[in-house]
Amino acid sequence: MHQARLRLVGPPPFVFAFLLPLILGGTAITAQAQDKPTKSRKTTKTEAKATDKTAVRFTRVPDRGIQPQALVDGTGRLHLVYLGDDPQAANVYYVHQAAGAEAFSPPLRVNSQAGSAIAVGSIRGAHFALGQGNRVHVCWNGSNKAEPRGPGKYDSPFLYTRQAADQPAFEPQRAMNGTHFGLDGGGSVAADADGHVYVVWHSGDGTGEDNRRVWIAHSDNDGQEFAAPQIADAEKNGVCGCCGLRAFTDRQGTVYVLYRAAREQRHRDMFLLTSMNHGQSFEAIQTDRWLVANCPMSSQSLVDTGDAVLAAWETAGEIQVSRIDKKSRELAQPANPAGTSKNRKHPAMAVNGKGETLLVWVEGSSWEKGGSLAWQIFNEKGRPTSQKGRLEGAIPVWSFAAVYAEPDDSFVILH
C-alpha cells in the first residue's frame, strides 16, 4: 500500500523576481542566439574568461526532431532523446555525444513498433533517465497504432524500454500499465545508480479527472523485471487529465513525482510526492494552487543541485520555481523569472559545476502553434547576472526546449 501524509504549503503565494535568489542560488545572463544547427560541443574557457560571462549556445535538435530531453552523465557524455516523423504516429530517437566531440552518434530508433509514439499536444512524448552504468531507460505514451490496446475510449498503452546490454540498440518495448488504461497526459521515468527504476504515469476509469490516479511500477534490477503497478497518490486529489507529470531521483536515491491534481475538475493544484523507501510509500506536499476549469496541458522539471532539488512548473501562464530541501523535503516559497508574459510553459533546467542554474521555457505556444524560446541564468548565490534572452519563433509546433551543462560549465539549449 502507498500511504501519504499531506502537508499543505500555504495560500497562493505572491511571487516576485526578487525571491529567486532565496530559491535558486543562480545568475541571469544574455547572449546573442544563433538560430542554426551546431554540431560541436567545444567551448573554450578563455572565451568565458574574456567576457566574464557563462557561455550559452543554441543548437537544433538533430534531423529537426521535436520534444528534446537531454542528460549528461558523469563522464561528460550527452544523451539526447527526441521525437520525429508523423506527430500522430511518431518515433522516438536516441543519440549521444562525448564531451568535445564534433557530432552526434547516428540516431537509433527507440520504439520497436514503428509509429507507436505520439507528439500531438506536446505532453505525451518520451521521457528518459540514466540508470546503473548510465544505461538509458525510456518511456512514452502509446499512439493510436501502439499495441496492446485496452478497452474503452482511451485504450493506448504506456510503453517502456531500456538500452540493450550487449549492442547499440534498445530492447523490445513493453506495456507497463497492465489493466490500467485511460491514458491522456504523459508519464515519466526515473532511475538511480543502484539499479532502481521507476516508471510513473496517470490514468483513469472514464468517470472523470477526480478519479484519475498516479501509478508507479518499480524495478530493483535495472529494469529487467517490474513489480505490479501500485497507486502512488494515496491522498486522492485526482489528476489533470491532459497534463504531464515528472519523475526524478536525486543522488541520495529519494524519489520525486511532480504532478497536477484536478479536485472537482477545477482545483488544478500542484502536488509533490516524495519517497525515501524506493517507492514503497509517498508523502504528498501541495506546492501551488490554481483554480481553473480547463486543462492547461502543463509540464514540469526537476534537477539536483547537490544539497537541494529544484522544481519548476506552470501556474496561470507563469513559471514557478521552488527549492526542495533534501533533508526536510520542505519547499521554499515559489518564485518566477523576471519579465512578464501571459503564456509561459514547459520549463526545463540544468545546473553547471559553478552552481549556476539555467531555466528555459516556451512563450506564445498553443494548439498546433509553435512559440518562442526564453531563458534566464542565476548564479550560485541566486542573483541575476546581466544575461538572459529570448529567441523568437525558435520552438516548432508540438515542441519545447531542453538544456544541459557542459563539463566546462557552459550551457547549451536544444530546440
Q: Please name every residue paired with 325 in a beta bridge, in sequence order, or none if there are none.
A: 308
> Which set of grid coordinates corresponds to residue 53?
560571462
Sign of the dihedral through C-alpha 251, 253, 259, 261: negative
State the pLDDT at residue 11. Answer: 43
The answer to whether 210 touches 261, Cβ cutoff 8 Å, is no
pLDDT confidence tier of residue 381, bands split at 50, 70 and 90: low
Single-letter amino acid, residue 320: Q
Beta-carbon contacts of residue 306 (< 8 Å; ≥ 6 apart): 251, 355
Q: For the chain, give the mean pLDDT.
A: 87
Contact (CB, 8 A) for 394 and 33: yes
Contacts of 412 (CB under 8 A, 6+ apart): 41, 56, 57, 58, 59, 403, 404, 405, 406
Taking the C-alpha atoms of residue 87 and residue 147, their distance in angstroms, rounded to an integer, is 17
Average pLDDT over residues 162-185: 92
User: What is the distance between the alpha carbons of residues 217 and 321, in angstroms, rounded to a whole number?
Assistant: 28
pLDDT greater than 60 at residue 13? no
State how far the Cα of 304 lies from the Cα of 74, in Å rounded to an integer. Answer: 14
Q: Grade residue 335 by pLDDT with cuts at 50, 70 and 90.
A: confident
Under the banding of pLDDT at 50, 70 and 90, the label for residue 383 is low
Tell me: the pLDDT tens digits for 189-242?
Answer: 999 999 999 999 999 988 899 999 999 999 999 999 999 999 999 989 999 999
E strand segments, 153-307: 158-162, 174-175, 188-191, 197-203, 213-219, 230-231, 246-249, 255-260, 270-275, 283-288, 301-304
Q: Is the pLDDT of residue 91 over 60?
A: yes
Q: What would the grid cell of residue 89 be?
A: 504516429
Rg (CA), the chain: 20
Contact 404, 352 (CB under 8 A): no
Asked if 27 and 380 touch (Cβ cutoff 8 Å), the reply is yes
- Which pTM value belongs to this model? 0.88
85: its cell numbers: 516523423
- Predicted pLDDT at 333: 85
For the chain, percent of residues with pLDDT exceeding 90: 73
Domains (range + CATH), the chain:
6-414 (2.120.10.10)
